[in-house]
Amino acid sequence: MAHLGYIGLGVMGGRMAARLMSKGHTVTAYNRTASKAQALVDRGLRLANSPRDVAAAADVTFVMVANSAALRAVADGPDGFIAGAGPGKIVVDMSTVSPALSRDLARQVRDRGARMVDAPVSGSVLTLEQGKLSIMVGGDRETFDRIKLLLEDIGPKVTYVGSNGLAVSMKIATNISVGVQMLAFAEGVRLAEKSGIARETAVDVLTHSAIGSPMLQYRGPFVVQMPAEAWFNTNMMQKDLLLALELGRELDVPLPTTSVTNEWLTAARAMGFGDADFAAVFQALVRVSGEGP
């Protein structure tokens, strides 16, 4: 059992913290809105006043926040987790952010005698709750070996991909396919629907066909009934695709399907679906193609 820290108790972060607690670990956490952590506090979570306090109290501190700006906000300054890092401590950043930022923060943590790895996840609320989450890790191999068992308490598939920043790059590459698949699926459902096939039937056929990836099997039904709480909202998906496009420019890799999907995410946001699950690209298609079958 370990004394762990967790910074960022959102849709995924809160569930990961709960999973770590269920494995018997002590967890000290920080969330920008403390009241949202009350359910976890009732289960034994210790709530800290700042990211620095979390990192100072924990041997291993996990971080999961929305974007690069949010990561900077919890990392920098006198109350940031970098200030709380020290010899022997480890920071595990599970956010999807710029690889360059991830490497820069890892260097700052290293300057304090601690170590940092980037460890974004592939999966959703459902795969996390089913214990099927996949985790990729970037950093030095020795640090990876020290935390591998802890990561396996979150998800069973933990893969070392190389040095700092490379796991974030791998996650960005993965989410290209997630976004593009969802748009292609939405196109197929809408085409079938306008041909006269019931939407529910089209979803059932496609999710059980050769294209029925695990992601489409759990997210495909969202085109029939959107979840009350977004598993991964449109704003977040577009953030990841913009990171991919930025990385593609840096590395001279053309990303044509990413570009098209990004435009449809912009359309969905313009229609008011920014906070809805990114399956809302289907709703954008419906509006453009005309309401009704």
For 175-210, the pLDDT digits (tens) are 999 999 999 999 999 999 999 999 999 999 999 999
CA dihedral 146, 148, 152, 153 (to 10 degrees): 20
pTM over 0.75: yes
* Structure tokens that stand for 184 in this block: 């292609």
Active site residues: 171
Q: Exposed, middle or buried by CB within 10 Å (0-12, 13-18, 19+), for 145?
A: exposed
pLDDT at 23 over 90: yes
Homologous superfamily of domain range 169-289:
N-(1-d-carboxylethyl)-l-norvaline Dehydrogenase; domain 2 (1.10.1040.10)
CA distance 51 to 84: 8
pLDDT digits 0-9 by tens, 203-252: 999 999 999 999 999 999 999 999 999 999 999 999 999 999 999 999 99
CATH 1.10.1040.10 range(s) for the chain read 169-289
CATH 3.40.50.720 range(s) for the chain read 3-163
Model confidence at 292, in pLDDT bands (50, 70, 90)?
A: confident
Contact in structure between 150 and 90 (CB atoms under 8 Å): no
CATH level 3 topology of 3-163: Rossmann fold (3.40.50)
Model confidence at 1, in pLDDT bands (50, 70, 90)?
A: confident
Query: What type of residue sits at position 36?
Result: K
3-state DSSP assignment of residue 29: strand
Provide the percentage of residues in the chain whose pLDDT is more than 70.
100
pLDDT digits 0-9 by tens, 67-96: 999 999 999 999 999 999 999 999 999 999
